[in-house]
Structure 1
């Protein structure tokens, strides 16, 4: 498939399916796409608000997508996760990424990676309703805890 052939699909925004089933994709790769999916969702949420100044958008987005925030989100969502989702989270948490950002401790970073792995997994398995539900709850949680 060439880049000119992409289009919307039920499996995702663009019809570039992964090279293998989601269960066979390494957790760190699922986290890679999950990070992007979550970032876009947060940006769309923030743009739906009144204050559209770029600096404000960036600062606010950081509060939603930081390792610390994602670690807290995962703890908040944990009671609602299915066994399959918990298994994906466990694999993401245990994945070796090779680096830790300077603004996060190791535990926060691993939990953030686990959250991103779950988002990537749901995205590639076509669980769009569940993905929207969990991201919506995540955004509500962070927005509510900022008040």
Structure 2
């Protein structure tokens, strides 16, 4: 089940498309995750070795480790065989090298802000009014 990671530029193109598709539908979620990539894609760098007396041995590697950034929509595979409207689950990822992290996150912030531009602020006035009425009626 190994998938190829996209290049950083392809990742941003796909992420923009995913955010735009959710904006056009009017609903949906996009999940963005990131974590440290514990193994190296090239096998020339040595793997971390566990130190017996250090409980946090993996928090200070010899060389900086790359990040893996993933994006997916909120669709899941059908488990119960129902006939609900099914859309394909979209998943893609990219690996960010340590020397490119600053450039990556600058562009990542731009893409995410552009994708959230059409979001509406939640209207909370109705909830507050309902609570006030309940408090007055109870007193």
Does TM, scored on the shorter chain, surpass 0.5?
no
Which structure carries more strand by proportion? Answer: 2
TM-score, structure 2 length as denominator?
0.30
Higher normalized contact order (CA 8 Å, seq sep 6+, divided by chain length): 1
Which structure carries more helix by proportion? Answer: 1
